[in-house]
A = this chain, B = another copy of it.
Amino acid sequence: MESKRDENRRNLRKRLIDAAEARISEKGLRGLKARDVTTDAGCALGALYNAVEDLDQLILLVNSRTLARLGDALRNAVDVNAAPADKMQALGKAYVDFALANPRHWTAIFFHRLPEGREVPDWHKEEHAQLIEQLIEPLSKMRPDLGPVELRLRAGTLFAAVHGVVQLSLHGRFVGTPPELLADEVKALIDAMSRGTHLANLTK
């Protein structure tokens, strides 16, 4: 049975992650301060360092949650019986919707950097990989010409491409694609890429 100590510890950890998550969603990563988080979580400043290694780890935990939520959003978006092309489009739309609905959490995933020399833990990298995994199945149907290695590579590229479009649009850098048009642009992107050279070959 879980001891009271363990329960408290787990509890505090959760409250801290909740508080950090809320802060990030309001102020962004830069607005996250140890004092604010502990105040919001209802504990003393020092308690943070009992529950969690340091602030960076707390951010990692929030990002981990965000990735899980994003993963769920993607999973819920696809109809298992749908055509592959529709699955791809559904995934893209879900991704865009998620980013627009959670701009600061989404940004935090990509902008958080650990201090020099500290490596992103493997369990967290794994969470990244699992997201991309969801593209593989529908993409493999659309691109039977690709071997497993190329397929995985291409899925990563597609993911990264969509990511780039959403990022530059969200931060208004270079491209000022307004949010209303974002979905359409991503749609065109996915359409072109998941078809790829496949259809093009048919025309030769």
Contact = CB atoms under 8 A, between A and B. Distances in A.
Interface string A179-204: 00100011011011101110110110
A192 to B, nearest CB: 4
Q: How many copies does the complex hold?
A: 2
A187 to B, nearest CB: 10
Max count, chain B CB within 10 A of own CB: residue among A132, A162, A173? A173
Interface in A118-148: 128-129, 131-132
Number of chain A interface residues as a range: 35 or more
Given A164-B164, A181-B153, A203-B202, A175 B159 contact: yes
A79 B114 CA distance: 42
A168 B199 CA distance: 27
